[in-house]
Structure 1
Amino acid sequence: MENRIIPQEELSKFGSVQSINEQAKSLIEQQRLTWKVAAKNFSALATIQTKNFDFGHFKITVQFNAERIRSSAAKTDAKSLAGRTCFLCLKNMQQKQKGILFQNKYLILTNPYPIFPKHLTISNREHIPQQILSHFHDMLQLSKNLPDFTVFYNGPKCGASAPDHFHFQAGSTNIMRVEKEFDELEKNHSQILLQTNDIKIVATENYLRRFIAIVASKKELLEEKFKQIFDLLDIKNGEEPMLNVLCNYTKNQWRVIIFPREKQRPSHFFRDDEQKIVVGPASVEMGGILVLPREEDFKKITKKEIEEIYSEVSISKEKFSPVLKKISRLK
């Protein structure tokens, strides 16, 4: 374990170490300068291709990012997971990959295949499955300690490429479309489900995908409401509900955005003709950045395919509406 932790003295050569937030940014710089894989892929972000599709009161950004093929096309069935080594376990990490400890429980790492200018993987030290409920309090604490980042969670069947090893990711804040558009959505395109002096819960539907947002300043209250909402979502075969979660902390309060899901991947992924689109929707995609690892898909995709992709993987209106009614009755 010790050889995976960068000593503070070494880290300080690459930036400030005054807080976890500053250490994380210094870590990214250190890894960029000492690890060829990270250096290559972070440098590539400067010339990465993107294009925006306007849907009226919101936009979807499409990003061509070839290195994300590992995640978008990852095989996450039980047989495939059992047949590969876990890349998040300490013993299997690449030699140059190093990180910083958080609460002696997580290893904060630079994501070597970034989507954001600053992109982290925050991996549990233990090889335990991807299940958010018992780790949600850690997510809140991480986001408070990483104010320059949005912390996000991908469910085991909602974009996580290592569903057998618990982890979060974190990316530069205010990059995802939903973060840029949230205030407008909350004001003009959302339904208030619950509001007190300490908490506000809203739901948004007219957004290609549907989400529930919780804004609160009290951690215990936020944890309580998250669990209540979690319990209201559809649980299949004893597994956790399909969802993606975004979390950030600003102005002394948390904002948690929950995207309930219907499917892991859209039908476009499984086609074997020219209409095939390799896409694995996860938190970033639900947040409004559609990452495509194949250039041909990036060139040919239209608003029609974007609408179809989100419609297929997002929770349906028929399932969403009863959940909202139950949330509005919470106390």
Structure 2
Amino acid sequence: MNEEIDKFLNDQLTAWPTAQRNYAALSRVRVKTLCVDSTTFRVQCNPARIVSSAARVDDHSIRQRTCFLCAANRPAEQEAIRALEGRYDILVNPYPIFPRHLTLAATGHVPQHIAPRLADLLRLARLLPGYTLFYNGPRCGASAPDHAHFQAGNRGFLPIETQWTSLPAERLAGCGRSSLYSLDSDPRRPLLIDARDETEAVTLFHAICQALPVPPGHAEPMLNLLCWSEGPRWVLILFPRRRHRPSCYDAPGDEHLLCSPASVDMGGVFILPVEKDFERVNAADLRQILGEVCPSAADFDILKQRIRSAQAASSSNPPLKEKP
């Protein structure tokens, strides 16, 4: 399907001036590299993304605006490719981060909620082998929390796609030929599922969700999720979250930094739409942001123990220490 998507993207950029302008602007975005605890991050100054970074996603604001993912409200130039028996529309994202950036919107207007859609994510990853798919939770970067959707960007863009293979990994649980690992040395404290079977991947993902806390008033744990397909396997990287936006987002004066981390940021590319923020941000700022929005070391240990305990109670596969 990659060739069909490439043609679709090219056709949309020809017919849609807004998308054409914003994709052309990607060649001019400024990028710098920062290192946090030996982990490399890229920082991208991308003014077009202020639409997402500054989005108001509280319940009142969502009710006051029309849903831009519903077909009736999309720009006239925006076309779609139907996928998964017509349940998703593949759309060109007109405010890109990636050179090839897609939104995969559910055809019905239903809230953003990952649990019933994890199998869909895996199947979409199979359809788009040249892409990394991602999910932003309703309070973890989704600018349309009222409409279920995924996004996808071309493979090779996010540093964590290659970083994870060199990180020490602890196996927390297994299901058939699939395994769940923690990547403890990474400052984001992610969990990784290396799966060879769809049902096994779903089982391990739900084990994580059952171990994560659900904040009051939320329908699901706070998380970001990356997923891609490599031949017969899927790789899923889940980032537990404890906060939507860091304190610098609402800070006054010189302490203010317009940074609203979502899956792309967690994957290693921080998006800053304001140029002065890009110029002054440093590794200490990223460390502070990650420390606020990601689990503490103590909370991550509790999460891992819950997963191990559930595995011990329900499976004969003992927790092992090994690298995926």
Give the TM-score band, short-chain normalised: over 0.9
**1:247 match:** 227
CA distance in 2, matches of 1:22, 1:316: 43
Q: Where in structure 1 are there 5+ consecutive unaligned residues?
A: 1-18
CA positional deviation for 1:99: 1.2
**1:231 match:** 210
Superposed CA offset, 1:177-209 (max 9, x none): 111211111xxx322223576012111132221
1:63 equivalent to 2:44? Answer yes
CA positional deviation for 1:25: 1.9
**1:16 match:** none
What code does the residue aligned with 1:303 have? A
**1:219 match:** 198
Q: Percent identity?
A: 37
CA distance in 1, matches of 2:194, 2:117: 19
> What is the root-mean-square deviation of aligned Cα atoms in Å?
1.3
1:36 equivalent to 2:22? Answer no
Superposed CA offset, 1:90-136 (max 9, x none): 11100100010002000000001110111000001111000000011
TM-score (norm: length of structure 2): 0.93
TM-score (norm: length of structure 1): 0.91
Superposed CA offset, 1:241-276 (max 9, x none): 000000000021001111000100000000121121
**2:189 match:** 210
**1:314 match:** 294
**1:117 match:** 99
What code does the residue aligned with 2:196 have? S
Please show how residues 1-331 of structure 1 align to structure 2 within 5 Å.
19=1, 21-55=2-36, 57-103=38-84, 104-185=86-167, 189-195=168-174, 198-237=177-216, 239-329=219-309, 330=311, 331=315
Aligned residue pairs, count? 309
Superposed CA offset, 1:270-329 (max 9, x none): 012112100110000010100000000000001111100111011222221121122234
What code does the residue aligned with 2:257 have? I
What code does the residue aligned with 1:263 have? R
CA distance in 2, matches of 1:46, 1:74: 24
CA distance in 1, matches of 2:247, 2:18: 32
CA distance in 2, matches of 1:142, 1:61: 27
3-state DSSP class of the match of 1:150?
strand
Point out the more displaced range, 254-263 or 55-64: 55-64
Superposed CA offset, 1:185-236 (max 9, x none): 1xxx322223576012111132221110000111111111111111110012
Q: Answer yes or no: is the 8 Å Cα contact 2:177–2:195 preserved in 1.
A: yes
CA distance in 2, matches of 1:205, 1:24: 36
CA positional deviation for 1:58: 2.1
Superposed CA offset, 1:151-191 (max 9, x none): 10000000000000110000011211111211111xxx322
CA distance in 2, matches of 1:180, 1:29: 28
